[in-house]
Chain A
Amino acid sequence: MICVKNLSKYFGDFAAVKELTFDIKPGEVVGFLGPNGAGKSTTMKMLTGFLTPSGGEIRIADMAMDQSAQMIQQKIGYLPEGAPAYGEMTPLQFLNFIAQVRGLKSGEKKRRINEVVEQVELHEVLDKPIDNLSKGFKRRVGLAQAILHDPEILILDEPTDGLDPNQKHQVRTLIQNLAKDKIVIISTHILEEVSAVCNRVMIIAEGKLLFDNTPETLLSKSRYYKAVTLHLSYSTDISGLAELPGVRDMEVEQKSGRVTLFPEADTDILHLVTEHIQQRKLPVDTLFVENGRLDQVFRDITHGSKE
């Protein structure tokens, strides 16, 4: 549904986005990850028709962006970075304006405005000028505006930035609950958010696409993926753990005394470890399987590109 080919954007000599190529199909919830200045927002601005690409091609719903921008924009809901709005308006006036521009008829308009106000919990601020709202509420107004016309494609630039934990949760649920035939693209700096809501991750650094796969695959790149961490009540001989088949490495963290066993690629070692613990009657008080550590994978991928 979204086809991007060799997309580039130059600001003067500076290449903010370099030769991006990807397709996104309905049902995909894509997370854009990347360091500051990576080109995430710039890419989104081109996908929404705000910036004209310096090179390459964007096709959305079988229409070319440079020819049918308006038709495409009707299908897109967009939350720009920083959630800009018209500050002198109240959220209610603002949503009314957006609904009119989006061509919603009066009955439909009322219904949709009530729905989104419900979804992002705007009741208490509906009649205050947006300028006077707190950062999180401003973000929610922007979000409400983006989903108002129930778009097929939702592009959200850092949607949960500045939201309280309850609201973060709410927004993630909202994204998950969107009909299964929609396209959602979010950018975020919260790595956990990606495994929580996305089924596809793109890591962009210095304008280049460095990783494009599922969150699980990203996790599996972590050294900690499926590693087993345990803690002993008192110290005893644990060298046997390191010799178990499938265990590649063992690390003991000095401060907490936690022991981590790293598996060889694609092996589950949990059952072996628990068996061994039972046999030797090791005084284990904590034991869990690691999920993979995204921050470390993120660092590896984005720094790796610099070397």
Chain B
Amino acid sequence: MINVLFKRELASFFATPVAYVFITIFLILSGVFAFFIGGLYERGQADLLPFFNFHPWLYLFLVPAIAMRTWSEERKNGSIELLMTLPITTFQAMMGKFLAAWAVLGLSLLLTFPLWITVNYLGNPDNGVIVAAYIGSWLMAGAFLAIGICMSALTKNQVIAFILAIVVSFLFVVSGSGIVLDAFKGWAPSFVIDTIASFSFLTHYESLAKGVIALNDVMYFLLLMALWLYGGLLIIEQKKAD
């Protein structure tokens, strides 16, 4: 059943320009960030670290844009009433939506393969590290997506869903950034700082981007996905009609 819902959702991404626009912008921005800001070329190293390092910031704005429509649109045009009176569970509907959007994110990542080819052409990178980093990036994208979908479940207004998703995601990103941690340093005990940092996408993504797949980082993102999707599920079941 999730399969059927997944296919419908995926088809709808491509029937509307959403997927094409998203993928195009993702490719352009990730290229711009990697080359012009990250200095991928000038560094003279055969790896994709500058490319992967910008992903949290890219996802922060792009993933909410793809997540905002998932439930808000259903609410807005009333199709939620149709969907929820079909003999399916809310869980199945949720998974269909999540997996379809996650697949679009995965596809966007895959389509950055020319970069990969380029570094292989220019030098001799560790391709295992690059694959691991791709997987890590995709996992993090899933966590961003789950937050966005949960926010989309809250409201029938896509703009509000978009902004809420950015705000919440932003908190998860910056809690590990130097600025926030510096603000706590000096007066807060180190375990507080560690706890704050441990909630951060950046902390967990850092090693993944370097190609180290540690179980706790993977679990962190999977758990986050599960929690936010479950939150969204509760919200939908509680207030289907408003």
Contacts and interface: CB of A to CB of B under 8 A. Distances in A.
Interface stretch (B24-32, B40-48, B77-85, B171-179): B77-85
Interface string B103-124: 0000000000000000000000
B86 A98 contact: yes
A80 B80 CA distance: 10
Nearest to B14: A88
Contacts of A89: 8, 11-12, 15
A50 B4 contact: no
Interface string A70-83: 11011010101110
Given A51-B241, A93-B11, A100-B4, A84 B87 contact: no
A98 B16 CA distance: 20
B127 interface: no
Given A51-B241, A98-B86, A101-B87, A84 B81 contact: yes
B89 interface: yes
Contact of A50 (B11, B84, B88): B84
What range describes how many residues of A lie at the interface? 20 to 34
Contacts, number: 63
Interface in A225-253: none
A257 interface: no
Given A80-B81, A84-B77, A100-B4, A74 B87 contact: yes
From B80, B88, B241, name the one whose CB has the most chain A CB atoms within 10 angstroms.
B241
Contact of B88 (A48, A70, A145): A70
A48 B12 CA distance: 26
B183 interface: no
A87 interface: yes
B185 interface: no
Contacts of A102: 86-87
B240 A51 contact: yes
Interface in B47-91: 77-82, 84-89
A88 B16 contact: yes
B85 A48 contact: yes
A88 B19 CA distance: 13
B8 to A, nearest CB: 5
A292 interface: no
B215 interface: no
A78 B85 contact: yes
B4 A80 contact: no
Given A50-B240, A80-B78, A82-B78, A88 B85 contact: no
B12 A88 contact: yes
B188 interface: no
Nearest to A129: B15
Interface in A32-87: 45, 48-51, 70-71, 73-74, 76, 78, 80-82, 84-87
A22 interface: no
A22 B40 CA distance: 72
From B8, B16, B84, B85, name the one whose CB has the most chain A CB atoms within 10 angstroms.
B85
A211 B169 CA distance: 54
Nearest to B79: A84
A80 B85 contact: yes
B87 A45 contact: no
A228 to B, nearest CB: 48
Given A86-B8, A86-B12, A101 B88 contact: yes
Contacts of A71: 87
A102 B85 CA distance: 11
A97 interface: yes
Contact of A85 (B1, B82, B240): B82
Contacts of A70: 87-89
B126 to A, nearest CB: 43
B236 to A, nearest CB: 12
Given A50-B81, A50-B241, A70-B87, 15 more contacts: A45-B241, A48-B85, A51-B241, A78-B82, A80-B82, A84-B80, A84-B81, A85-B82, A86-B8, A88-B16, A89-B8, A100-B4, A101-B4, A101-B86, A101-B88
9 contacts: A45-B81, A50-B81, A78-B85, A80-B85, A84-B80, A86-B79, A88-B16, A97-B8, A101-B4
